[in-house]
Structure 1
Amino acid sequence: MEGIEMTRHLLLMSAAPFALTITPASAQVATPTPQERQQAAAPDATVDEQAPVAQERATEAAQGRSPGTAATENLTDDTAAAATPATDEDRDVRDIVVTGYRASLGSAQAIKRNSDAILDAVVAQDIGKLPDNTAAESLARITGIQVGRSGDEVNQVLVRGLPDLTTTFNGRELFTAEGRGVALQDFPAGALAGLEVYKSGTADLLEPGLAGLINVRSRRPFDFSEKLVVAGGVRGSYNDQSKKYDPQGNVLISARQDTPIGEIGVLLNASYIRTKYRNAVRFAVGNVPERLNDGQVVLPASVGRAFRIPERVGVYNDSGTRSRPAFNASVQWKPASNLELYYDFLYQGYRGRGANDLFEASLLNNNPTLSNVVLRDGKPDQVQTLTKTGGERAQMYRSTNVNNTDTYQAAGGAKWDTGRAHLSTDFAYTRSQYDANEYSFDAALTTAPTMDVNFFIDGGSAFSLPGYDNANPANYKWRGYYESKYLVKGSGWQWRGDVDLDTDLDFLPKFQFGARATDRDASQERGNRYAYTETLNIPLANTPAGTLELTPNAFRGDAQGWTSWLMPTRSGIAGNAEALRVFSVQALQQIVAANPSDGGYRDALTRFSQPTLELDPFQGFSAKEQSYAFYGQAKYQFDIGSVGIDGLIGARVVNTVGEYSGRGQTPVVVNGVIQRDANGIPVLAGQIITTRSNYLDILPNASLRIRPTDKLQIRFGFTETRTRPSFGALNPAVQITPNQSPLTNPDGSPVIIPNDPRFAADLQGRPDYTGSGGNPNLVPLTSTNYDATIEYYFSNNGSITAAFFYRELSGFLSRYTQRFRDPVFGLLQIDADANAGAGKIKGIEVGGQTFLDFLPGLLSGFGVQANVTYLDGKQRFPVDLSPANTTPPFVSIPGLSKWSYNAALFYEKGTVSTRLSYNGRSRFLNGNTVRDGVYFGEGTEKITRLDYSFNYTPIKQITLTFDVANILAQPFRNFAQYGDDRSYPRDVRDEGRYYGLGARFRF
């Protein structure tokens, strides 16, 4: 699922990929002179000479049909002139190689300018010009988009603060395994022709999520005017954090030929990316208890006991290898000039090999002495530094995971232009599977050494163990062994048919209508087993895992004192998996003999006695879902004086029918009596629980565009969107277990359970049972959207735009804790997803771009691009999750930054092009809980990145590249907030800086 950067810089930019995403340009771009056309067609044409013709072609590319129908791509000369040039002169001009940033920015600007929908786009050259490995990395530079990162890559994309996106591939729904969407980082940049971000949709689009829709577009053979194209690239990168080198590669072969049965084109594209990463994290946990333990000694006594500290601190090394192979193919056949049949195939693979090390120590468990306590200046309820003596020993693990994804999609269809009517149909089948296997070797220190902690140093927490010998095996013991297995699958059929009907009515020039049907299934299976063996005090060196080694130190700087500890090698753990299982069985047998009434140990022994890990039926689910959609919309247009006015009015109606199943637990009843064990605990039996749903969504849309001049346009849009809950969230089964938390403290005193203000008086105290599961009563998240834009286009690649938007939201999904009084289980506490109350997001986007062509000489090669987004978003908590008898508060929406911004400086002259790009977003919350109207949650500090790329084209067919990603290497920082103005640093993660060297070719 990841490929190499391809030769976007050198690949021909044709009209076809975007012919279906935009509406006519209305002659808004200046036409190149004949002299410019001849210069551009010359074999040795420079970037400067090619740019005017390239931008004319970008505008022609915008003269297509509506965004969703794909009705007439490559069918007629007016919509696909690039594919079938009418004259030799046109053919010569269209055979030029588009290499410039000017062409890239001009193409993206033309798409944005001429679309019926409010959207932003990135075209192939823009992706290829920066050191982007994946589509997700490229999206980070688009106005209004914010991204999250983990393990040195983008792992989340938010549009206008929301993650609820629909992702399509060439206009078709694409998903990974049991999910409803696909991870955009799984699209290798080398396989792409472009990305389109629809922020305000139209009825003919596949129904967008709350945040909108992102369409990923690949190339097809008719996108190229040449009979044969061979293109690709190779790139090597070096990560200064992992100290590893990685290869990337991509190759594309496209051919088209006239035959007796019509023109036929075939395209094959393959790519591969490998990334070895290592991140070092120092952390303090987000749990900040309200008070110290009663028996805990604090020195000096003069500092008092009113301060609060995180419960534990630690370090975490996240490392691994990702490889993403990808392949796509396309066949196009035009038996007639107005008829096309096609077939598309996509394969995405992902291979993840994670290698994680963790060390952590509690500052409160077992009542350690806290000495040398220094309070923060101006905040006497927070601690700057302290020394911990005694208490709970530290613990650690070495975990390895193996993850694999295989996703396939095959599709075929036809497009027929009858003159007035433009018809299309598309049928696709998708199959995807993801599996993950993990094992963890756990250890602990034999004692609780003295620990010096600084909670506020270099943006985070850090600690050291002064005088402790980290290389002495006698200081470690075996704590346990863990294994898990996870398997999710999904498959689905989808069909759509569309009609664009041109009329002879000046006021209503076009009607569009169509239908879509899907049939989807999803399933999950998982299981795990854990042998907890610490009570046997087995020395670490006595396990069958082999030789011990110190874990690597991956930290930048010297703020963190304790960075390495002894563990078996990874090959020793993996190579001795069976011996470790047998060793675990022997250890558990001893523990069970000493604790015959402990059901947990007996269950663990049963699980490990099996040669292979068995899946737990209570942790799985299955789902089947069908949807049926119908849409209709009309395009209107008229003039008021010299002012042009046009827009769309339509609606999309979607009926969803679902069946969701899971294995839950119910009490065993005999002759009307609930059966209980010797301890009075109800005996539970597994039972398949199935729920069904059937609901209708009506999603209207309306838009208005006003064009006072050929350079200025003003838009207004209204849409309604929705996002279905995930299949896992709809699982109707709940797993229930007795509450085994202690009733008394170690000194024999009863455990005091403080009141929880979220619950009523009759729901206070210690729950008798706890549970977790899905919620079949969840409803789709809905949003009513209002948009307005002002767009001024002063040149082919120069513009200033502003967008204003407001979203009224309902039904946010988050995982919450709820309590009930149950006749069988007593006070029952359940963790499950729930629809939150109303929400609202409002914001402004401002962006601009231009090349400084008015400057003399070499200075005219400079260009700039910048954008900034302001977001303000709140959501209301559900009524039953707020303090009793109170109005639920509005709280910040997790993941939403108030500010995000991008700036890029280009230089392009002759054979050289270069780009410096800056990207950032302000701090945001990751999640929150509210107690008496006060935040308790975690957030992330502001994030900034700086990237650089350099391209040199010594000959027309070859471009040499150099790039640096994450130049600043600013650490990722989290914070744990536990009051209106109180927080501790949570995580500080050092991430890699990447250096790349490569070459792209096109023949």
Structure 2
Amino acid sequence: MQSKLKLLPGAGLCALLSLGSLPATAQTVAAPAQPDQKKKEDTVVLQEFVVTGQRASLASAAEIKRGKLEIVDSIVASDINKLPDYNVTDALQRITGVQILRDRGEGAGITIRGLSQMEHTLNGREIFTAGLSSTGGASRQIDFADVPAEMVAGLNVYKTSSANHIEGGIGGMVEMVTRRPFDFGPGLSGALSARFVNGDLAKSTKPQYSALISDRVKFTDGSELGALVNITYQKRAWREDQKGTGSPVARTDIVTGQTVTAQNSTSENTVFGTRERWGATGVVQYRPSKALEVYGEFNYTKFNTLQDTHQINVTGSNFTFVPGSAVLYPGTSDLKSITWNAPTVSVLAFARDTHDWTKQFAAGAKWKGENLSVNADVSYTKSYNDLFFSGPFFATKASAMAGATFTQDFSTEVPSSSTTGVDLTNPANYEYTGIAYRYRPFYGDLTAAHVDGTYKTNSSIFHTLLFGVRDAVRNATNKPGLIFADYSFPAASRPAATQYASQTMSMPFGFFPYTGTPSIRNYMSGVLDGARDVVSYRNLFGITSAIPTSASPLTLWNIKERTDAAYAMSNFKAGTLPLEGNVGVRFVRTNEKVSGYQGTTAANAVPININTTYNSLLPSLNTRYTLADDTFLKFSASKTLTRPDFGSLSPSITLVPNPINPALNQGSAGNPNLDPIKSTNYDLALEKYFKPGTYAYVTVFYKEVKGFIVNSAATETWDGQDYLITRPRNANPAKIKGFEVGTSYFFDFLPDPFKGLGVQANYTYVDSETPNATLNSNTPLPNLSKNSYNVIAMYENKKVSARIAYNWRDKFLSGQANIANVGRIPFYTKAYGWMDASLSYNFTDKLTVSLEGTNLLRTKRESYYGRTTLPQNVYINDRQVSAAVTYRF
């Protein structure tokens, strides 16, 4: 079956009939489901053409890129669901310039061209998760891992900004778009899908379901009413093994006359559990006339990670090792292998759970006159995040370790470790050292309203004026703070593990399977069945002390932030020249009301309240020069900003006086006087479109960023005393430059059935540099690979659809560590690749079955201190295989 299409301005979301994990037959591309703030003035007139199968989705994404004046990359629903993407981060990893981290076998956290500071929107509205950010405060962004991939109809990643974009992203903006009933034709339509996912390390199969129902009715008076409900549920069992080698230490006692960099410990973690996601969207649209539309909308996400961890830590003696066992890497002073005497062993077993939920309610109206159009929208967003941690800590008895040894070899595929002279499977050799309990919540809400207008002028140059205002009030708090209620048993009266035999078990998992590397796989650990019932669990061990209801006031903060923004922008055409674009400016006033406490103890904590206001002017220019009907040259320039995370703005101060030497007085604090991070951005792109879904592009970019936030110490005077206060401060300018290239191509010149073959590929090069005061040198931005690429091999015909996707990134700076007798050194994550694949078969136009796989290469992620002869951590995750069935109606 074939269908003629006309792609509309900005390009559509691929008919939105590709629901859940549905494959698409030939389809008519619908008008784009544009967020309320976006205007459809950047029109490209296209000729009629024929598209079949999944190529309609590729053509739709290409036309979004082609039609926008900004530099943007997009992915639409059917392509998102053509690969086994569990969450939105998984889908974003394949967009040019986007790099992701991984957590528990899934995508977790993204950067655009190396910057994590970006704006996130859902249907044009700001959206966030009230969770822990990288700086320790409540996040300004949504955790894309919260959002099921099936929940979204499309993703747009804006690399450049316009005045009508919500401010907040120096790296760019990620726009999520959900389905709406007016995206579908008249009548009832929908889809049901089910997927069953098996993890080979978790050895468990879990279900995932999604359902979408949409109905659109046209009345005799010409008015229309539509309603849509989309519900998604995911459950996935997972496992992640992690091995750490301990921090290096400079030693002069291992090789005579030489300083050796030695590591003398191992930390081996088996981490497993389940992840559950819920996503729900409800939308009602009413169009009483062609000029007016009103709507109401509800979006909900919930994400729970339930995790059990069993960890054994073995540390060699600080003083003695087996003579002659030490071997160095040739030509280095780094330890290759050694056997230590008298090691110590500790075992940690703990439940570590996180819970996120975010709700957003919105209502609005759109009116379109002959020359003037107005959109108005009001929304309320509320979010919550918490962390739960509970479980027992063990240690081997000193008597059990007499005569034991601990051997390490850092040169094997995974650093190997083994013990002799002690039976780690005998509970009589262990004693309890403590019972842990910690709990930490974050809360946040946002009330926002905006009105946007578009006016068509009589000018031949500035033909359209766009203008708008937005008011938003955001509240964030960490109260009641981190509840820390760990209980340590006195050294002289620690319970033996045999005293609570029902609460101990032999480790049932083979650590780091499929590698053959020796590890400490057999040991005793704690039973965690009751650890989530905290009071009963503590009572079991005779712990009756009350759990605090709040952390110290000195750690608490509350912030109310109000932003008032106005923008004016014009779309223009340069007379007879094939040049068009938009130029505008956004003005933003930000008011921060922050409250906290200062003092030396909780008992003498004194409240602090600080009120600050600052203004920002953000100009932008986006141009497109048509070199030919299918070839465009784009240039963009803009100024953007990102506000500090809320935890960094906390005014709370903890003072630690030194009664013996006041010169050593210290303290720590947030900084309510932080300035926003600001960036000046330039982009130049060349885009060539050969036919629907087939195109190539190259983009060059340059950014100057000022005001990156780092922790540093400076002398401050409090109550007449000098203190060395560590707090976040604006510092560290950065320059970021690079280029992106990409293509999407189908081999239509091949004979049947090979003409269904195609490829998508992109490559990004990013060179970044920022001063690093602690390392006393310039370093690249953290978590940024200089080189990264994606290759997706595709095959499409009427019955079969297949994808193999390979994502690769170069090594990157992960952080830095302060090592005893060594100093502060950087640590890096090695380059690695990740492969996913899918195969689906259309039994009918309505019924499709699919087979999918993630992490097919069983990727090892490895990090090291400064140089590869000093390994740090190694991770492996499940290889996951799933089967799915989808029925649409």
Q: Give the unaligned 5+ runs of structure 2.
A: 131-137
Equivalence map 1:678-757=2 (5 Å): 685-737=604-656
Partners in 2 of 1:827 and 1:396 — Cα distance?
42
Per-residue deviation, residues 684-730 of structure 1 (Å, max 9, x unmatched)? 61122222210111111012211111011101100111111111111
Per-residue deviation, residues 466-495 of structure 1 (Å, max 9, x unmatched)? 243121112111111111111211111101
- CA 1:904–1:71: 2 relative to 1, 3 Å: closer
Is 1:276 paired with 2:233?
A: no
- 674, 678, 684: which is aligned to 1:788? 684
Partners in 1 of 2:320 and 2:531 — Cα distance?
33
Quote the offset at 1:237 in angstroms. Answer: 0.8
Alpha carbons 2:192, 2:888 under 8 Å: kept: yes
- 908, 913, 932: which is aligned to 2:796? 908
1:956 corresponds in structure 2 to 845
1:480 corresponds in structure 2 to 434
- CA 1:151–1:769: 2 relative to 1, 3 Å: farther
Is 1:256 paired with 2:216?
A: yes
Quote the offset at 1:582 in angstroms. Answer: 6.8
Equivalent residue letter for 1:383: L
2:395 corresponds in structure 1 to 444
1:944 corresponds in structure 2 to 833
- CA 1:541–1:822: 2 relative to 1, 3 Å: farther
Equivalent residue letter for 1:913: S
Give 3-state SS (helix, strand or coil) of 2:153's partner. Answer: strand
Equivalence map 1:204-283=2 (5 Å): 204-259=164-219, 262-283=223-244
Is 1:312 paired with 2:265?
A: yes
- CA 1:258–1:71: 2 relative to 1, 3 Å: farther
Is 1:925 paired with 2:880?
A: no
Mean Cα displacement is larger for which, 647-656 or 440-449?
440-449
- CA 1:13–1:893: 2 relative to 1, 3 Å: farther
- In our comparison, the structure showing a higher alpha carbon Rg is 1
Alpha carbons 1:819, 1:827 under 8 Å: kept: no
Equivalent residue letter for 2:814: N
- 752, 758, 763: which is aligned to 1:857? 752
1:596 corresponds in structure 2 to none
Mean Cα displacement is larger for which, 527-536 or 230-239?
527-536
1:32 corresponds in structure 2 to none
Alpha carbons 2:626, 2:632 under 8 Å: kept: yes
Give 3-state SS (helix, strand or coil) of 1:457's partner. Answer: coil
Per the normalisation by structure 2, the TM-score is: 0.91
- 527, 550, 557: which is aligned to 2:507? 550
Alpha carbons 1:772, 1:830 under 8 Å: kept: yes
2:595 corresponds in structure 1 to 661
Alpha carbons 2:284, 2:295 under 8 Å: kept: yes
Quote the offset at 1:263 in angstroms. Answer: 0.6
Quote the offset at 1:551 in angstroms. Answer: 4.9
Alpha carbons 2:568, 2:585 under 8 Å: kept: yes
Give 3-state SS (helix, strand or coil) of 1:111's partner. Answer: helix
Equivalent residue letter for 1:398: A
Normalized per residue, the structure richer in helix is 1
Alpha carbons 2:23, 2:848 under 8 Å: kept: no
- 497, 504, 527: which is aligned to 1:569? 527
Alpha carbons 2:624, 2:632 under 8 Å: kept: yes
2:135 corresponds in structure 1 to none
Equivalent residue letter for 2:393: D
- 670, 681, 688: which is aligned to 1:774? 670
Quote the offset at 1:951 in angstroms. Answer: 0.8
Equivalence map 1:59-208=2 (5 Å): 61=31, 69-70=37-38, 100-177=53-130, 178-208=138-168
Partners in 1 of 2:599 and 2:295 — Cα distance?
50
Per-residue deviation, residues 378-421 of structure 1 (Å, max 9, x unmatched)? 33310100011025x22121111232222111000011110111
Quote the offset at 1:232 in angstroms. Answer: 2.3
Aligned-pair identity (%): 28
- 986, 989, 995: which is aligned to 2:875? 989
- 322, 325, 346: which is aligned to 2:275? 322
Equivalent residue letter for 2:590: T
Mean Cα displacement is larger for which, 835-844 or 195-204?
835-844
Quote the offset at 1:639 in angstroms. Answer: 5.1
Partners in 2 of 1:836 and 1:106 — Cα distance?
44
- CA 1:162–1:969: 2 relative to 1, 3 Å: same
Alpha carbons 1:23, 1:116 under 8 Å: kept: no
Quote the offset at 1:831 in angstroms. Answer: 4.2
Give 3-state SS (helix, strand or coil) of 2:63's partner. Answer: helix
- 333, 347, 351: which is aligned to 1:400? 351
Per-residue deviation, residues 303-338 of structure 1 (Å, max 9, x unmatched)? x44111235321112222110111110000000011
Partners in 1 of 2:822 and 2:585 — Cα distance?
40
- CA 1:844–1:72: 2 relative to 1, 3 Å: closer
2:768 corresponds in structure 1 to 873
Partners in 2 of 1:561 and 1:24 — Cα distance?
53
Alpha carbons 2:36, 2:377 under 8 Å: kept: no
- CA 1:473–1:930: 2 relative to 1, 3 Å: closer
1:809 corresponds in structure 2 to 705
1:672 corresponds in structure 2 to none
Per-residue deviation, residues 200-238 of structure 1 (Å, max 9, x unmatched)? 011111114111000000000000013111212100011
- CA 1:542–1:929: 2 relative to 1, 3 Å: closer
Is 1:622 paired with 2:575?
A: no
Partners in 2 of 1:111 and 1:531 — Cα distance?
57
Equivalence map 1:488-637=2 (5 Å): 488-524=442-478, 525-526=480-481, 527-533=483-489, 535=491, 536-543=493-500, 546-556=503-513, 557-574=515-532, 577-578=535-536, 580-581=538-539, 583=541, 585=543, 609-610=545-546, 614-637=550-573
Quote the offset at 1:983 in angstroms. Answer: 5.3
Give 3-state SS (helix, strand or coil) of 2:361's partner. Answer: strand
Alpha carbons 1:385, 1:452 under 8 Å: kept: yes
- 410, 418, 433: which is aligned to 1:464? 418
- CA 1:315–1:14: 2 relative to 1, 3 Å: farther
Partners in 1 of 2:4 and 2:770 — Cα distance?
43
Partners in 2 of 1:319 and 1:990 — Cα distance?
12
Partners in 2 of 1:311 and 1:521 — Cα distance?
47
Partners in 2 of 1:368 and 1:573 — Cα distance?
38
Partners in 1 of 2:597 and 2:332 — Cα distance?
51
Give 3-state SS (helix, strand or coil) of 1:331's partner. Answer: strand
Partners in 2 of 1:99 and 1:552 — Cα distance?
48
Per-residue deviation, residues 314-370 of structure 1 (Å, max 9, x unmatched)? 1112222110111110000000011100111011112221111222133464x3436
Per-residue deviation, residues 739-776 of structure 1 (Å, max 9, x unmatched)? 89xx9xxxxxxxxxxxxxxxxxxxxx998455433222
Give 3-state SS (helix, strand or coil) of 2:503's partner. Answer: coil
- CA 1:959–1:266: 2 relative to 1, 3 Å: same
Q: Give the unaligned 5+ runs of structure 1.
A: 1-9, 26-40, 82-89, 586-607, 668-682, 744-764, 883-887
Quote the offset at 1:982 in angstroms. Answer: 6.8
1:836 corresponds in structure 2 to 731
Q: Give aligned pairs, total.
A: 862
Q: Superposition RMSD on alpha carbons, in Å?
A: 3.3
- CA 1:766–1:738: 2 relative to 1, 3 Å: closer
- CA 1:865–1:576: 2 relative to 1, 3 Å: closer
Quote the offset at 1:134 in angstroms. Answer: 1.1
